[in-house]
Amino acid sequence: MKPKKNPNADIGRNSSLYFMIGLTSVLFVTWQSLEVKTYEKESVALNTIEVTDDLKEDVPITEILRTTPPPPPPAAPDIIEIVEDVDDVEETVIESTESSQEVYIEDAVVNIDDVEVGEVEEDVVVPFAVVEYVPVFPGCEIYETQEERKECFNQMVQKHIIKNFKYPQTALEMRISGKVFVQFDINSKGEVSNIQKRGPDRLLEKEAVRIIASLPKVKPGIQRGKPTKVRYAIPINFAIK
């Protein structure tokens, strides 16, 4: 027995067409959903101000100050006297100090014998090593040669430093040490002047200046037969043992 089937009622005849239409519809809906743009809504804030109608304020009571008016200006006199100017004023005549070509100026003639020429003493400083006659320290007069007096001067200065040496207490507590180079001049009167120092700390420099300033007065050095200023330099070592 043959099955009864209507050829026009075949369901799977257009299935591929329906599938393509459905797939296209789904893709279109998906694409449109992706292209949709959303915007945030702006929030509006409303500020409410409450104003009261009944505003009561205490008005301060002021007092009117009554001041006296200023006095009236002085009145003009009834009769005005006119005084005539009878004094004669003498005018001052200012003479010109400029000279013209017609004025002759005599040349001043000065005799050479009338001109006095004074000698200007030059402040020359001679180093201790090259001075002709070195300064003589008290006690070094017994030596005759200059070499012996130089050596005696050096030894006496060193003895003076050792005798008057005093380590600054603050520098000792701070463990400050080093060598201070001192340079000074012995002027034409045999006195110490122009002390210059250079050291690691101002405390040591101050002590070195004190020691050198206490040097006794010496016999000044002589250069070209005249007392001269002699420069001397010596280092002072501050060491902590």
Length of the chain in terms of residues written: 241
Give Cβ neighbours of residue 241 (< 8 Å, ≥ 6 apart). Answer: none
Q: DSSP for 174-226?
A: TT--EEEEEEEEE-TTS-EEEEEEE-S-HHHHHHHHHHHHTPPP-BPEEETTE
Predicted local confidence at residue 68, as pLDDT: 78
pLDDT tens digits, residue range 190-231? 999 999 999 999 999 999 999 999 999 999 999 988 999 999
Q: Is it true that domain 125-238 has CATH number 1.10.1760?
A: no
With 90 as the cut, is the pLDDT of residue 105 above it?
A: no
The helix (run of H) or strand (run of E) holding residue 19 is helix 15-35
With 50 as the cut, is the pLDDT of residue 235 above it?
A: yes
pLDDT band at 152 (very low <50, low <70, confident <90, very high): very high
Would you say the pTM of this structure is higher than 0.85? Answer: no
Where are the chain's structural domains? 125-238
